[in-house]
Amino acid sequence: MNDPKCKGQKFGHDFAIAGGECQNGCGITQVELSNPKPKPIAMPRPEPKPMPKGVHTELHDIAFKLWEYYERKEKFGLFLGLIRSRGKQWGYARLSEIADFKRRGQKYPIQFLMSKKT
Ligand SMILES: [Zn+2]
C-alpha cells in the first residue's frame, strides 16, 4: 500500500471534520498539522567549571615542578598521586631537598623521592 501523497506534507490533506483526521489516510489530524511539535530548544552548553583554587592547584603545581625536574620521563600522574597520598608538605620537603642537591650540582635520585614517606 502506497502512502497517500499528502503524507508528511504541509498541504494537500483532506480534512472532512475541522480538527479531524485526514481523509486520504496519511494519519495526520488537522489539529496536529496546525500545532506542530515545537523543536526542542538546544540547551546552551554549560560553562566549563573553573579550576578550583587552593589545594587542588597547589598540588598540581608541586607535581608539575617534580615532573619537570625529572624531565617528564615519568607520568605526571605519578607525582600527583604521591603528593595526593603523602600531602603537600611532603611535596615541599622534596622540592627543598631537590634545591639542596641542585646547589651541590647533584641530581636528586627519584628513588629517594619514592622512598620518602614523610
Ligand atoms: Zn493527508
What number of CA atoms fall less than 13 Å from residue 42's CA on the CB side? Answer: 2
Q: What is the pLDDT of residues 44-55, one digit of tens each?
A: 777 766 655 555
Please give the Cα distance from 43 to 55 (Å, whole number).
Answer: 33
Ion ligand 1 neighbours (CB, 5 A) are 6, 13, 22, 24, 26
| β-bridge mates for residue 15, sequence order | 22
Displacement of CA 64 from its chain's centroid (Å): 21
Instruction: Give 40 Cα–ligand 1 centroid separation in angstroms.
Output: 25
Question: Do residues 74 and 90 touch, judged by C-beta distance below 8 A?
Answer: no
Query: Which pTM was predicted?
Result: 0.53
Residue 81, pLDDT above cutoff 70: yes
User: How do the domains of the chain map onto residue ranges?
Assistant: 9-40, 55-115
Buried residues in 7-27 as b, exposed as e (16+ CB within 10 A):
eeeeeebebeeeeebbebebe
Instruction: Give 26 Cα–ligand 1 centroid separation in angstroms.
Output: 4
Instruction: Give 113 Cα–ligand 1 centroid separation in angstroms.
Output: 77
Instruction: Give 41 Cα–ligand 1 centroid separation in angstroms.
Output: 28
Compute the mean pLDDT over every residue in the chain, rounded to the nearest whole number: 88
Question: Do residues 90 and 115 touch, judged by C-beta distance below 8 A?
Answer: no
Residue 36, pLDDT above cutoff 80: no
Q: What is the pLDDT of residues 10-30, one digit of tens each?
A: 889 999 888 899 999 999 999
Per-residue confidence band for 109, with pLDDT thresholds at 50, 70 and 90: very high
